[in-house]
Structure 1
């Protein structure tokens, strides 16, 4: 079961109501979204993502030796905040790995945009700074190949379509 950790926004808002990034941009969201802050994109720095309500769960993954407690905003909450319309999200990683997730996944499961493992920020060499992560231990069906391929780490770009 996840928990919510409240955070307070730290950034000035632009005319559309979405804060502008102050620090380095670590996530860009494009596509069929209504709320943007830089051109037709929504760009986020770490503090902006940290200002969103956090959820978390304990899970093992096929890529880690031990289970861990992962936390961050739910991906569905991020898309709702941007008034996203679409049926799929295309997720691209820093290493050019890419996957397409049905938006239905985000409502069937508590899919995180994980920022922390064990309360610590995840560095790039350890799946960070952002990881689209399914709660593998909570649902046996998530252990299959389909969902493993949808769990993108080192996320840098999400496109809604």
Structure 2
């Protein structure tokens, strides 16, 4: 029974997402909308509104189905804790990312300083090579 529920839920979800995407893409191409008579534009608007509502219904159905599935497994507390943890991570993501941003910023500064050191070293080596080539050229002239 549970497998059938998930198969029907997934199939309906994919179909609604497909119809919703087609309606949105066609609705936002203004060149095609201008060619349509007002009745067809209104029909397209109704299809778009309907797919919005059905998408919301499928999202709610998805959550209710998973809550029902977790209740079948007798572990609804873990499900509620999981939802709370996801919400907490999304809500306070800046606090989570802030240390990583500092590390990334420090790493970028360090790598840019290393690049500057390498550029200075290459410039010095190039100047030495130019000087050596000039000395070699002068020696060849004297020979």
Q: Which of the five TM-score ranges fits, normalised by the shorter chain?
A: under 0.3
Q: Which has the higher helix share?
A: 2
Q: What's the TM-score once normalised by structure 1's chain length?
A: 0.18
Instruction: Report 1 or 2 for greater relative contact order, CA contacts < 8 Å, sequence distance ≥ 6.
Output: 1
* Structure (1 or 2) with the larger CA radius of gyration: 2
**Between Structure 1 and Structure 2, which shows a larger proportion of strand residues?**
1
TM-score by length of 2: 0.20
